[in-house]
Amino acid sequence: MTTRGTSNGEAEPSGQGGKAAPAKRHEPEVPRAAVALPAEGVVLAERLSETLDSHDIEFGAAIDEVVCTVPADRLIDICQQLKDDPEFGFTYLRLLTVVDYLEQDGEFEVVYHLFSLANHHKMVVKTRIPERGASLPSVTGVWRGADWYEREMHDLFGVVFDGHPDLSPLVLPDDFEGFPGRKSYPLNDYGEW
């Protein structure tokens, strides 16, 4: 298996031209993207921390978006509140995705990008789940548009969305084995068919 790039710290042999990767050397600290929340983002972050029961919610920001990391068991309640409360009005689910951090800390991160047309603001909700029994409640009851996103993520990462109406394979063949979205799934290591 060859893994090009993306390896954090641990230098792996590179598959390109059989050249061995340089031995571990002192890497400078990786710079982080600067946070530049717009004015309405700052207001939204304040309102969120006041309104939500925030003892176990982690607030942050990524470039121009407010980020809330919530525990998986409160996900549905918080999403429903974000949608129904006219102050937030997040009626539009832009994107749902899973990021694989199994190699780093054995967890998946599920990311929800929300947008409110009425109030014209945006935010990101995140939740982290461990690999073992990777499951979390489905948000299809809150936004119907989550349907295919969750099916696709179930195909590619093996994350189970409890309460989803139909988690049958969407983008992969019905008899496909393995979770090709995960970092541990090799990219080039397939046989002929």
For other proteins, the binding residues (CB under 8 A) are 4-6, 8, 30-34, 62-63, 65, 91-95, 97, 99-100, 111, 113, 117, 120, 124, 143-148, 169-173, 180-181, 185, 187
Q: Nearest approach, Cβ of 55 to other proteins (angstroms)?
A: 25
| Placement of tokens 């989803």 in the chain | 164
CB closer to other proteins, 70 vs 146: 146
Task: Give the closest residue to 7 by CA, choosing from 98, 100, 103.
Answer: 103
CB closer to other proteins, 74 vs 182: 182
Question: What is the rounded distance in angstroms from the CA atom of residue 75 to the CA atom of residue 18?
Answer: 46
Q: Nearest approach, Cβ of 36 to other proteins (angstroms)?
A: 8
The torsion angles phi and psi of 6, rounded to 5 degrees, stand at 55, -10
Whole-Å CA distances, 130 to 59, 72, 78, 182, 186? 20, 10, 20, 14, 21
CB closer to other proteins, 45 vs 146: 146
CB closer to other proteins, 25 vs 120: 120
Q: Nearest approach, Cβ of 53 to other proteins (angstroms)?
A: 26
Q: Nearest approach, Cβ of 33 to other proteins (angstroms)?
A: 3
What tokens were used for 25?
A: 């050397």
Question: What is the rounded distance in angstroms from the CA atom of residue 37 to the CA atom of residue 3?
Answer: 35
